[in-house]
Amino acid sequence: MLNFPKGQPSGAALTVPGVHLRPARSADLPFLRHLYRLGRERELDGLNWPEAMKRDFCRSQFEAQHLDYTRRHPSAWFLVLEQQRAPAGRLTVDPTGDTVHLIDIALLPAAQGQGIGTRLLLALQDRARAAGKPLSLQVQRGNDRAAALYRRLGFNIDASGATHDNFIWMAPEMAGPSIPDR
First to last CA, the chain: 63
pLDDT band per the 50, 70, 90 thresholds, residue 148: very high
Averaged pLDDT for residues 151-180: 86
Smallest CA-to-CA distance from 20 within 100, 91, 104, 76 is with 91
Q: Would the pLDDT of 172 be above 90?
A: no
Q: How far apart are CA 133 and CA 120, in angstroms?
A: 17
pLDDT above 70 as % of the chain: 92
Helix (H) or strand (E) holding 116: helix 116-131
- Mean pLDDT, the chain, whole residue set: 90
pLDDT band per the 50, 70, 90 thresholds, residue 7: low
Specify the CATH architecture of the domain 20-172: 3-Layer(aba) Sandwich (3.40)
pLDDT band per the 50, 70, 90 thresholds, residue 46: confident
Smallest CA-to-CA distance from 84 within 116, 118, 106 is with 116
Q: Are 28 and 87 in contact (CB under 8 A)?
A: yes
Q: Would the pLDDT of 100 be above 90?
A: yes
pLDDT of amino acid 21 = 94
Q: Are 133 and 100 in contact (CB under 8 A)?
A: yes
Q: Are 18 and 116 in contact (CB under 8 A)?
A: yes
C-alpha distance from residue 69 to each of 57, 78, 113, 123, 173 (Å): 18, 9, 27, 22, 31
Averaged pLDDT for residues 120-142: 95
